[in-house]
Amino acid sequence: MTQTQLQHYERARRRLADADIAFMEMVAHPTNPMTREDLHALIKLRSDHYGRFAGWLDVLPSRAS
């Protein structure tokens, strides 16, 4: 089945929104929140996926904190 441009757009928008929600859940996890080092490792591993969250490197706490 061929999809319309609007359907392609909506599918891509939903995929990005789901990734944003998953990232925020990792950042705000009550017992094991994401650290600066965790995000740095994820960016190094999959920069195409996690690189857009690089701005959080200045915000997230360090493991040493």
Inform me whether the pLDDT recorded for 64 exceeds 90: no
Q: What's the whole-model pTM score?
A: 0.84
Taking alpha carbons only, the member of 50, 45, 47, 42 closest to residue 20 is 50
* DSSP 8-state code for residue 40: H
| Structure tokens, 14 | 């939903």
**Residue range 23-53, pLDDT digits in tens:** 999 999 999 999 999 999 999 999 999 999 9
